[in-house]
Structure 1
Amino acid sequence: MAGRIRDEDIALVRERTNIVDVISEQVTLKSAGGGNLKGLCPFHDEKTPSFTVAPGRNVYFCHGCGVGGDAIRFVMDVDHLSFVESVERLAAQANIQLRYVEGSAAPVRQGQGQRQRLVAAHAAAAEFYAEQLISPGARIAREFLAKRGFGREDAAAYGCGFAPDSWDALTKHLRARGFTSDELNTAGLAKPARSGSFIDRFRRRLVWPIRELSGDVIGFGARKLFDDDDGPKYLNTPETPIYKKSTVLYGVDKAKREIAKRGQAVIVEGYTDVMACHLAGVTTAVATCGTSFGAEHIGVLRRLLMDSDDVAGEIIYTFDGDAAGQKAALRAFDSDQKFVGRTFIAISPDGMDPCELRLARGDLAVRDLIASREPLVDFALRQTLARYDLDTVDGRVEAMRRAAPLVAQLKDREKRPEYVRKLAGDLGMDLEPVQRAVAEAVRGAASAPAQQRRSSPAPDSPQALVEREALKLALQVPVLAGPMFDAVGADSYRHPVSIAVRQAVADAGGTASATAAAGGAGWLHQVRDHCPDLAGQALAIELAVEPLRVDGEPDPYYVAVTLAQLQLGAVSGRIRELKSKVQRINPVAHKDEYLSLAGELFSLEQHARALREQAVGGL
């Protein structure tokens, strides 16, 4: 096994890695003021952004779930990598040649973790398949693409390839590249045969590489081309350590920036639909890969859309006009409430999907399809009413009962009265019974067990606030805090976690040592590593991104005021304790103790007066 990466190389990776670039691959970030950025947390579901990134210190923290750290920590958590794998990935992106304790760069295989090996195998497989697409045996695959309006350049742009008519062509190719049979089996690129050897998973098929947000290939989708192929029409990579179909969206690597820029995501049904939309100018299109659109897909899009109470994006579903497509659209309405933004549906009048529409009528027709979208609730109501005979009393009443819960589900309560009136008109019924039906549906939904929410913490006391501010100064501007901060010991802090962080600063060498650290993230990393428990580590990262409570840039005066207030709280507490003791002591029977306490009390009160004068104009 390779040795551990040298500390100075890890520090260099931290210094040269722009945390905003890394996190923006997964989360849309917007200004939060004070130089910080905010987005929806990728580690828990939320509707109000609480995930904060501090570019100046190269760290992040989520005030909702408490996760935080530097770019290495983010890659570890979001991609489920080990520390070494994360450092190696970021080093490769920054063109840093890592050195190991033994003194030489690790061999490729030994220095990489499982995920990197599987990603590398997929990259090599994608290259192999793409090369096969121009071979004589792939003529049927090229014809398939051409018949759908895609030329050679289009195929190359989307990495289309061909799995040849061979049982083990890819397996042999990748084995020659240094990958083991076990790795190929784990990656889903090969599978065991009855003979005990390994054969290719995909054979005689047109293949599309499936990429994650970062652009790494993590799987493939393969389309049947031959009539004698008894497999499914589409065959996808199975679940692997790097491929989870419930989170994967085809085309998201190309669409992510436009999704964030336009505040719009278009959800289509297949690989060719994504290609057709993008080539037609609808560059926000994505598709699921062999599974229905679910909650985890929604989470990915919400983070890209910045889908929050403050910023509402558009989600546009496109489905085939057949019965299956209509059923899928109604299922989508059940997921509608998981988006804050507005949801729409776009269905071609003649039932063509985007690929067919582009081929038949051109790029403009695809753009017009998306532009002519209608609110999903309108479509859901219309499809519900269409199932009943509205010329009969029974039909109208049953339709009302089925449609009322749809109106009750509307996120925007101000729209409910308008939809109640619309529903009454569509049914040909008086307004009052429809109002009652919707009201009953609303009450029924409200009486259901509410989803437990994370309780908000109680408001901080003045002492807790000033402790946080002092620690923020040490973590964010250690050179400025300097000797003034270091001179105030942990005994001035009351809260146990604050005490732990203050002690960690001391154990890391004090703020005076921060200049030797590798940038802001390096200093924070040192402090965090000296925290004895997870609570202290979390608080350190949280305070590193929390804005200081001062207008403009902090200066030495602000540091002095903050530290004076911090000490004043501790001194005032000690004064209260001494006064209580003095009052309980008999000055005659315990003269010496009484005089000692009285002398300490007098000295502390003088100190408190001096601190109050210093703290004037503070927090």
Structure 2
Amino acid sequence: MPGLIKAEDIALVKERASLEDVVREHVTLKSAGSGSLKGLCPFHDEKTPSFQISPARGAYHCFGCGKGGDVISFVMEVEHLTFAETLERLAAKIGIELHYEEGSGPRKENLGRRTRLIEAHRVAEEFYAEELLAQGDARAGRDFLRARGFNGKSAAQFGVGFAPRGGEALAAHLRGKGFTAEELTLAGLVGQGRRGLYDRFRGRLVWPIRDITGDTVGFGARRIFDDDRIAAKYLNTSETPIYKKTHVLYGLDLAKKQIAQGRRAVVVEGYTDVMAAHLAGVGQAVATCGTAFGAEHVKLLRRLLRDDQSAQVVYTFDGDKAGQAAAMKAFELDEHWAAQSFVAVADDGQDPCELRLSGGDEAVRTLVDAAVPMFEFAARTTIDRFDLNAAEGRVQAMRAVAPMLATVRDPDRKPMYARMVAGWLGVGMEELGAAVSRAAHAKATERHTSREAPPEPPDEPTGPHIAVPDLRNPVVQAERQLLQCLVQFPTCVPDDQRALIAPGDFDAPMHSAIFEAIVAADPTQIRSAAGWTDAIAERVSPVVKPMVAELAVASLPTKLDPMSGRPDWRYVQSLVVTVRAEPLRREIDALLSEVRRTSDDPQRMRTVSQRLNETQKALSTLRATLE
């Protein structure tokens, strides 16, 4: 398992990676004044720009959906990568070598090797795409695509290519580009025979298989000639250092944004089904690459679906026995999801590619939208194996479906499904309930005996819930503006003035947490505005971090000095006074109340009155600073 990336390397990536350059790859930015830039948010649909970045402070925030952070969180969010994947991607882009704790991370030569293998696949993809347009044998590939409703534009969109029949063309092309025989065999692009190198794929249509970042890591090849010596309809790249078939989903690089935004993933069975679905408007479609849908694929999609219980995973299967078997296999994985699973099977058993040909784009969209719950499909498939006209058949069917009911987690759906199954079987609810209880007990005993680890639980939300500040309150609004000043201009409040403010003076808990982080951070030790923002963000809980980014990019409701670029001190001082005055007012109210309650205790009343007088004088003195 790779070790942790060293903290100094993380800081270096943050410092060197340009947030503006990274964001511009996804967003058209325009000036928003005061060194800020704005554009349409990449995380939600909008017509008026509410997404704003501050390049100097290395922070972004969307005032529409609330997402915010630094360059690392932006790439993680928009590309749906892990923290480590994001750092490695940014580091490679800006030429920084990452180091790992205790030397347990990837070796430098391994990182360099990966880069070479990825580049070899990129060159191979370009080669195959050009060959598809060539005269001769490639025409059979173009005819195959046309017969399935795909034109040249469709082929280019998905990177479809053609592997020449000769058997050595790709090897020669890649060797001419400077790749070694060892690199090409390691990549799985060629094989080594007695007569030298030979192409792994020959006389086949090829689809590039990309990882979630968009890098091509392998190929899937479809048989199109009857005299192909390899009988298998599909060949896929063998497992290599960069390709593990259980860790990739075809089309995920294209579908990830729609999956994340719509909280729905559609799992189809083949490359042409993915193409047909996307062209029909179902842009969430993905497919496995020569293997059954499994637990590692679940993890890939869970990262995008965020374990949202309202999310949907829709499987499309052929209507034959193989399709039913695939559906039952998928049902076994259902407990790994927080999302709800559905199954879509066309009435005549057509796959999405065939359905698009016969019924058009609308038929594909209707198929997905009309999907039935996975449990309903799996239970029906199981029950249909038995003769329900006979008592013995009903008993066997009940025993077969009971373990499935026992796995249903949703407390609202479970009794509904039970009533539905009891109706199908013609048995009583008590009888079915007893069978389900026995099945659940048997499963628990089996797990205990085999010491089987429970399925991976959904990710828990990070950190405690903290109420969002109520900006309708003018005091809370002043707190926010003071924090904006301190985040954007760390020395705008003199040290002696800042020392008079305590975290407890802030009414909003989030504001209090951020001020506490500001006090803990030392601006004299920070080299840049972005470093100051990072120093604050590192000292707050994950739930508060987006607000730090928001404060870093939000515009202040006052003019900045054209010479210094800072807010006027009188404005800042008014905010300091408002924040400091509020706890004094609260104390005065409490003391007045106590004076009324202690009227029958003269000694206590004199003590409280004296404290009240001192507090009122402190408030008057504070207000006088603004006169």
Which range, TM-score by smaller chain? 0.5 to 0.7
1:246 matched to which residue of 2? 246
Q: Distance in 1 between matches of 2:223 and 2:240?
A: 22
1:288 equivalent to 2:288? Answer yes
Which of these residues, 484, 487, 491, is aligned with residue 478 of structure 1?
A: 487
1:128 matched to which residue of 2? 127
2:330 matched to which residue of 1? 332
2:215 matched to which residue of 1? 216
CA contact (8 A) 1:28 1:260 kept: no
Change (3 A) 1:507 1:250: same
1:224 shift after superposition: 2.1
> Counterparts in 2 of 1:155-174, with a 5 A limit?
155-174=155-174
1:325 shift after superposition: 0.9
CA contact (8 A) 1:207 1:222 kept: yes
1:338 shift after superposition: 3.1
Change (3 A) 1:181 1:390: same
> Counterparts in 2 of 1:429-448, with a 5 A limit?
429-441=427-439
Q: Distance in 1 between matches of 2:13 and 2:358?
A: 60
For residue 199 of structure 1, give the secondary structure of its aligned residue in structure 2.
strand
Letter in 2 for 1:334: E
Change (3 A) 1:28 1:458: closer
Greater mean deviation of Cα atoms: 127-136 or 137-146: 137-146
Describe the superposition over 1:527-585 as per-residue Cα deviations: whole angstroms up to 9, x where unpaired. 49xxxxxxx9575877543569999989856667879999xxxxxxxxxxxxxxxxxxx
Which of these residues, 344, 347, 355, is aligned with residue 345 of structure 2?
A: 347
For residue 418 of structure 2, give the secondary structure of its aligned residue in structure 1.
helix
1:297 equivalent to 2:301? Answer no
1:13 equivalent to 2:18? Answer yes
> Counterparts in 2 of 1:95-494, with a 5 A limit?
113-135=112-134, 136-194=136-194, 197-226=196-225, 227-230=227-230, 232-309=232-309, 312-441=310-439, 477-482=486-491, 484=493
CA contact (8 A) 1:486 1:506 kept: no
1:277 shift after superposition: 2.2
Q: Distance in 1 between matches of 2:481 and 2:294?
A: 40
Gaps of 5+ in 1: 38-51, 62-67, 92-97, 101-109, 461-469, 529-535, 567-605
1:78 matched to which residue of 2? 82
CA contact (8 A) 1:14 1:72 kept: no
The percentage of counterpart residues that share the same residue type is: 40
1:413 shift after superposition: 1.5
Q: Distance in 2 between matches of 1:340 and 1:185?
A: 41
Q: Distance in 2 between matches of 1:437 and 1:445?
A: 12
Letter in 2 for 1:125: A
Letter in 1 for 2:244: K
Q: Distance in 1 between matches of 2:516 and 2:542?
A: 15
1:523 matched to which residue of 2? 532
Change (3 A) 1:344 1:76: closer
Change (3 A) 1:19 1:390: farther
Change (3 A) 1:344 1:203: same
CA contact (8 A) 1:247 1:297 kept: yes
Q: Distance in 1 between matches of 2:245 and 2:83?
A: 15
CA contact (8 A) 2:295 2:333 kept: yes
1:58 shift after superposition: 9.7
1:243 shift after superposition: 2.9
For residue 250 of structure 1, give the secondary structure of its aligned residue in structure 2.
coil
Letter in 2 for 1:389: D
1:45 matched to which residue of 2? none
1:20 shift after superposition: 10
1:326 shift after superposition: 0.2
Q: Distance in 2 between matches of 1:373 and 1:36?
A: 36
TM-score (norm 2): 0.65
Change (3 A) 1:294 1:565: farther
2:32 matched to which residue of 1? none
CA contact (8 A) 2:160 2:205 kept: yes
Change (3 A) 1:322 1:28: farther
Q: Distance in 2 between matches of 1:8 and 1:268?
A: 38
Letter in 2 for 1:130: A
Letter in 2 for 1:190: V
1:508 matched to which residue of 2? 525
CA contact (8 A) 1:28 1:306 kept: no
1:458 shift after superposition: 8.3
2:509 matched to which residue of 1? none
Gaps of 5+ in 2: 1-8, 28-41, 53-58, 98-108, 448-452, 467-478, 504-514, 558-570, 584-613
CA contact (8 A) 1:206 1:225 kept: yes
CA contact (8 A) 2:481 2:556 kept: no
Describe the superposition over 1:578-597 as per-residue Cα deviations: whole angstroms up to 9, x where unpaired. xxxxxxxxxxxxxxxxxxxx
CA contact (8 A) 1:192 1:198 kept: yes
Q: Distance in 2 between matches of 1:230 and 1:76?
A: 38
Greater mean deviation of Cα atoms: 318-327 or 413-422: 413-422
Describe the superposition over 1:147-187 as per-residue Cα deviations: whole angstroms up to 9, x where unpaired. 33333333233221111123331122123223333333343
> Counterparts in 2 of 1:554-573, with a 5 A limit?
556=572
Letter in 2 for 1:282: V
Describe the superposition over 1:94-147 as per-residue Cα deviations: whole angstroms up to 9, x where unpaired. xxxx899xxxxxxxxx9x944443333222211110111122122332232233
Q: Distance in 1 between matches of 2:462 and 2:80?
A: 28
Q: Distance in 1 between matches of 2:262 and 2:147?
A: 31
Q: Distance in 1 between matches of 2:265 and 2:153?
A: 25
Greater mean deviation of Cα atoms: 382-391 or 410-419: 410-419
1:321 shift after superposition: 1.4
Describe the superposition over 1:238-273 as per-residue Cα deviations: whole angstroms up to 9, x where unpaired. 333443322322223333344345443221100111
Q: Distance in 2 between matches of 1:471 and 1:501?
A: 13
TM-score (norm 1): 0.65
CA contact (8 A) 2:517 2:540 kept: no
CA RMSD of aligned residues (A): 5.2
For residue 201 of structure 2, give the secondary structure of its aligned residue in structure 1.
coil
